[in-house]
């Protein structure tokens, strides 16, 4: 632990000497929280936020997956997983969780019905 502290001190001293030699005065980066968050989001999510539109979910009837054959269940799972990952990439975590729950329902139906 002491070695790590010594190394940190050595590097700090070296940086201070470099700054003094080159006339550099360190300054903090000043950014607003919005600037930071905007960099973390992709364009579609920013566009929705800028438009002030939010998604409103209406309760949809649950689909009966037990009647689907295994190939269609597998296809449905692939589509849902792609949607879930896209929502996660867009930082739409509530939507991703909703799709994740739907994936669980599909898998449960596959186990129960087949």
Q: Which two tokens stand for residue 39?
A: 């960099």
Q: What is the 3-class SS of 9-40, one letter each residue?
A: HHHHHHHHHHHHHHCCCCCCCCCCHHHHHHHH
Can you list the alpha helix ranges (DSSP code H) found in 1-114?
Answer: 2-22, 33-40, 43-51, 70-89, 93-113
Model pTM?
Answer: 0.45
Q: In which region does residue 23 sit, left (phi positive, over 0), alpha (psi from -120 to 50) or beta (all else)?
A: left
Report residues of the chain scoring pLDDT below 70.
31-62, 113-114
Joined together, the tokens standing for residue 56 give 């409103």
49-70 pLDDT, tens digit per residue, is 555 555 555 555 567 777 777 8
């Amino acid at each position: 632990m002491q070695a790590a502290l010594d190394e940190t001190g050595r590097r700090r001293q070296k940086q201070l000497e470099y700054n003094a030699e080159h006339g550099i005065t360190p300054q903090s980066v000043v950014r607003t929280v919005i600037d930071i968050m905007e960099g973390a989001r992709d364009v579609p999510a920013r566009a929705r936020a800028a438009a002030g539109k939010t998604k409103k979910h209406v309760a949809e009837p649950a689909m009966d997956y037990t009647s689907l054959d295994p190939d269609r269940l597998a296809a449905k799972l692939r589509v849902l997983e792609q949607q879930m990952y896209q929502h996660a990439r867009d930082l739409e975590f509530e939507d991703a969780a909703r799709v994740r729950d739907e994936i669980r329902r599909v898998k449960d139906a596959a186990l129960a019905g087949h």
